[in-house]
Copies of this chain bind each other. A is one copy, B any other.
Amino acid sequence: MARIKERENYRLRLKAVGLRHTLPRERILAYLDRKNVHPTPEELYQALKKKGFAIGLSTVYLNLQVLRDAGLLWEFKDQKGNTRYDGFTERHHHLFCLQCGRIEDVLPRDLPEFEAEPVRKAIEGRNGWFVEDARLEMRGVCPACQ
């Protein structure tokens, strides 16, 4: 029942952006539908296989891009340059652990000390750029590694 509702949820989310509902897409979205999960394509592929799902690596690559283009996923590079995907698409910042590679999300509302607006305005006024997005990248050591 909950299973059926979930599936309906993915069907709707995909339809909303003009994409067909397929099993690979549902599984990719479902896997990324948690916070602080930021796998590489290979990691995601392995994780889905481990769950017993048959899926091709190129399908994973392809759909990560399709879903990213549709705005359903975020893509970014970690400090080693690996491509990572994030199912959490609200604007947010990232904390990178230099020790273990862990990546933690930080929501703007959880970091009132940083205000994007004044920064955007300042850059637009002084540098003449149009600034679409100002994001923080923080490097350090996570609690577990200290």
Chain B residues near A129 (CB, 8 Å)?
Answer: 95, 97, 104, 138, 140-143
Residues from 58 to 114 in A contacting B, C-beta threshold 8 Å: 77, 81, 83, 95, 97-98, 104, 106, 110-111, 113-114
A132 and B127 in contact, given A83-B81, A119-B114 (Cβ under 8 angstroms): no
How many copies of the polypeptide does the oligomer hold?
2
Q: Are the CB atoms of A98 and B140 closer together than 8 Å?
A: no
The smallest C-beta distance from A14 to any residue of chain B, in angstroms, reads 26
Tally of chain A residues near chain B (CB < 8 A): 37
Q: Taking CB as reference atom, which chain B residue is nearest A77?
A: B77
Q: Are the CB atoms of A135 and B137 closer together than 8 Å?
A: yes
